[in-house]
Every structure is written in structure tokens, then in C-alpha cells.
Amino acid sequence: MHNKNKEKVYYERGTEELKKKNNRANKLIQEFNKIVVDEATRKEEIIKDLFGSVGMNPSIEHNFHCDLGYNIHVGNDFYAGYNCTILDMAEVRIGDNCMIGPNVGIYTAGHSIEPKGRNKSGYAIPIEIGNDVWIGGSCVILAGVTIGDNSIVAAGSVVTKDVPANTIVAGNPAKILKSI
């Protein structure tokens, strides 16, 4: 894993700088989501332009969304199913041979529990997903989580805490079911 510090990154919503970065990502995402199925080469070009780093053979199905894109780093043979959303206000690092099912949300972003100013600023905490991880459909991975190598997150799980390597987790909140 690359980033063990899990420090919060603070940001203000609505700044011109953030709007500019988000608009860049949104234009690329809009183009990506309109590409016809058999234009795999163009899809890969956009992923490489959008993400911070990309290994070999990335594959992302239609209706993908993210905040900035450049904070997303994926290894070789990365796959994300339909309707994947990655809120990358902080870095999201995903290892090699990872599969993400449909309707998965990976959210680095958070906000104050105090109502005053909640809609004006936020924070984000990096997420790390190791090698050979399988995340089932309709899962949510929350800010600051690390998922260890070879682990499985069962469909519909909400991951609020770190997942050790070689384990299967399930539920809301996700709990360890067994070791692999």
C-alpha cells in the first residue's frame, strides 16, 4: 500500500479552481460515457487522460463518474462495472487484478457533522485497495478505508473500517466473515 497516513485533505466547495478541475473531469467523463461499445481503444485513451495513473488493460463500463479523476490510480487489469462512482477529492489507489461490481461507490469525501457551513467545505481521506480484490455489486467504500490484498467485499456491503488482507467481509457495516 502506498499511503498509510490517511490524513484529511480539506477543500472549499464552489471555488473557481475546484470548478475548473471538476469541469475538466466532467468533460472527459461525458465523452467516455457516450462512446459506443466497440471503441475500446478510445475508452482506454480517455481513462488514461482522466486518471492519475493507469496500468495495462483497464476496463470500465458505461455510466462512470468521479470528482477530479487525477486522484485515481489503478493497476493492471482493473475492471469496474456499470454505474461506478469514485469521489476522489483525495487519492484512491487500486492495485492489480481488481474487479469492482456494478453500482459501487468509493467515497473519499466527507463533511462536518456541524450544520453551519456544512455545504461550503469538506474533507477527504485517501482510500487504498490492494491487489486481487473483488468488490461485489452495490457496495460502498467509505473515506480512509484500506482493503488488503486478495480480499472480497460481498455485494451490498458498506465498508467503514479497514479490511485485512485475505478476508471476506459482508454487511452494513461490513464485518469479517472468514479468512481466505
Catalytic residue set: 111
- Residues whose CB falls within 8 Å of the CB of residue 135, separated by 6 or more in sequence, listed in order: 98, 99, 100, 101, 104, 129, 141, 147, 152, 153
Dist. CA 171–CA 159, nearest whole Å: 8
d(CA 107, CA 11) in angstroms, rounded, equals 15
The CA–CA distances, whole Å, from 147 to 23, 31, 67, 70, 152 equal 30, 31, 21, 21, 9
CA distance linking residue 44 with residue 59, whole number of Å = 7
Separation between Cα atoms, residue 138 and residue 140, nearest integer Å: 7
153 contacts 174 by C-beta, under 8 angstroms: yes
